[in-house]
Amino acid sequence: MGPPDLQIHIDSPTYGEFLGFEEIEVTGRVSPPIAQVWVEKELVEVADDGSFSASIPWDNRYRNIDVDAQLYGTEASERIPVFDGSLPMDAWPGGMTMRFTPAALSHIGDNLGQVIDDTGWADQMDLTGIAPIDTGQGFEITPVGLAHDPTVVVLEPVEGGIEVGVELRNVVLEATVEMDVGGFILELPVSFGYEEIRVSTLATPEVDAEGMLFLTMGEGDITFGDPIVQVAGFFDASFLEPVLDQLSGLIEPVGDTLLGTIMDGIGTIPLGGPYVFNQDLMGSEVEIRLSDVFGDPAGLGAGLGVGFNESVPLGPIGMPTPVEYDEDVHLALGLHEGLIDMMVREANVVDMLSQDIVLPGMMGEMIGNGIRNLPGGGSAPEGDGWCLALEPGDAYVARLQDGIEPLGVVYLPDVIVDVGVNQGGVCESWLAASLAFEIGLVVKNGTEIGIDMDISDGAVLSYGYTGAYDEDEVVDGLGGFVTGMVGILGGQLSFDLADMFGGGAGGPVGDIPGIGEMEMTIVDSHALIDEDTGEHPEGLYSVTLGLFK
């Protein structure tokens, strides 16, 4: 009569379960109950009915729970991969938020000042219709031209929109003064105006039918700064002070004309788009649509609905908009890791890792050399080549994280790797292992996301070598070999975040009047804090970008 069958049954946790952030409670049963049981290499007590339990802390975003049993030289084991937190899709809000920051608005304002001056507004002012002013002081003033310094546009985010200030610096009306001096008419050049004329208005964000985002100007107000009076040949122009009121009467109508000219020239400020987007992204139909736009002191905020292989959900996005960012950041995206997790799942990225190949000749020898260099690998049989199979398990998740090295990680804690020898057209398994893949989503060029893979954990499931060996050494060696092989697939797994905004890898996403050429670059990622609660909602991050060269 042989030894009794040794069996382990794990009651909890279950394969691929999301367990929050408390310690992992492991419970199960072993039969016969006289067997010894180790949970994560720690010997645990087994009750008379064969039940056992243990509490295991987290040491990563996932953990492979290894349960081993031994009785009379017979061994049995179970390996259960689990994740911390919750399934990202359970909290996926159906979209993302974004924020144009004050730094972006400042850049846009700098460009708009040049746009205003390029309209030649000063040359458009018709001064010929303005009659000379008879000052009643023995001379009259006739306007002949208008001069000014470069225009400055200040865009200040406020509640409800953007306060637009168009600052016209040193606006001077060039004129001539005709004076009757003892019957002789003397003409002197004179200039008068204001150190600053400021046009102020509140611009509100709007979206047109094509999905382009604009700031639309409201009614403007005009204010005048300190007056400027200069007369050629006279260091003291105080003789004109009695007519300053009349000078104001001349320049202010010019200001009203100026207000209309500016408002006609920049009645709307473009902010890019279209923010209505449909594209096949890694094999998945993605639709993005602007759902709401608003202004507040932190900048210009917006919500964008996102749909994968389904219509975009309408209405406000149930997640906060970023309000904290570095001074040089132009755009902050509020991203939930459910977006990345959905992209991975909908685009079948994990399935792309599945491989079942036979490699004869030189390629086969590359595998063979890698395996023979493992402990015990030298006893592998000769054959007609080697074969390699990769089969990811059903347990995986994509997570965002602080920083961009990497920006996020796809965790696959149970990828079955089976390496065998080809014997007469039949692949005979030599070494099989469960390896934990961590695929880093690395920013490679501007907004292009590539992969950087690491294998951090594993267990040997079967091995043709029957002698003693160090399992960790075999796993490390096999992991390094497989990392190199899977790296060849890296180009197939890359995508570009700028595709969501109509751009490309590190390239411009548009040359927009008033903004200039835009070029996206991912700057950083950090946990997004909800300013209403002061807490970090699980899975929510602020990914910040530069937009301008």
| Residue boundaries of the structural domains of the chain | 7-85, 102-266, 345-495
Q: What are 518's two structure tokens?
A: 């835009």
What is the distance between the alpha carbons of residues 107 and 111, in angstroms, rounded to a whole number? 7
CB-CB contact of 500 with 288 (8 Å)? yes
Structure tokens at 391: 């089969």
Neighbours of 126 (CB within 10 A): 9
**201: which 2 tokens?**
């208005």
The CATH number of the structural domain formed by 345-495 is 3.15.20.10
Phi and psi (nearest 5°) for 164? -105, 125
Residue 127 to residue 129: CA distance in whole angstroms: 5
Largest CA distance in the chain: 142
> Quick check: do 102-266 and 345-495 share a fold?
no
CA torsion, points 492, 524, 291, 515, in degrees to nearest 10? -100
| Topology of the domain comprising 7-85 | Immunoglobulin-like (2.60.40)
Separation CA 417–CA 434 (nearest Å) = 6
Cβ-in-10-Å burial (0-12, 13-18, 19+) of 241 comes to exposed
Residue 148 has a CB neighbour count (10 Å cut-off) of: 16
pLDDT of the residue at 148? 87
pLDDT of amino acid 480:
87
Question: Closest Cα to residue 516, out of 164, 272, 166?
Answer: 272
> Locate tokens 């594209």: which residue?
279
Convert 25-44 into a string of H (helix), E (strand) and C (coil): EEEEEEECCCCEEEECCEEE
Angle formed at CA 152 by CA 271 and CA 331, multiple of 5 degrees: 30
Overall size of the chain counted in residues: 549
Contacts 24+ apart (CB under 8 A), 233-240: 233/188, 234/188, 237/190, 239/137, 240/190, 240/192
Q: What is the DSSP string of 289-340?
A: EEEEEEEETTEEEEEEEEEESSPPPPS--SSPPP----TT--EEEEEEHHHH
Give dist(CA 328, CA 463) in Å, integer. 55
pLDDT of residue 162: 92
Phi/psi of residue 52, nearest 5 degrees = -150, 165
Distance of CA 346 to the CA centre of its chain: 19
The radius of gyration of the chain's CA atoms, rounded to the nearest angstrom, is 36
* Architecture of the domain whose range is 102-266: Super Roll (3.15)
pLDDT digit of tens for each residue in the chain (549 aa)? 556 789 999 999 999 999 999 999 999 999 999 999 999 999 999 999 999 999 999 999 999 999 999 998 899 999 999 999 999 988 888 889 999 999 999 988 888 888 778 877 777 666 655 556 666 666 677 777 778 899 898 999 999 999 998 888 888 878 787 777 667 777 778 777 788 888 888 989 888 877 788 888 888 888 888 877 777 665 555 655 555 555 555 556 656 666 666 666 667 777 777 777 777 766 667 788 888 888 999 999 988 888 877 777 667 788 899 998 888 899 999 999 998 888 788 777 788 788 888 877 777 787 888 888 999 999 998 888 888 899 999 999 999 999 998 999 999 999 999 999 988 788 899 999 999 999 998 888 788 888 888 998 999 999 999 999 999 999 999 998 888 776 655 555 566 766 655 544 333 344 555 566 778 899 999 999 988 888 999 999 999 999 887
Instruction: Report residue 238: phi and psi, to 5°.
Output: -65, -20
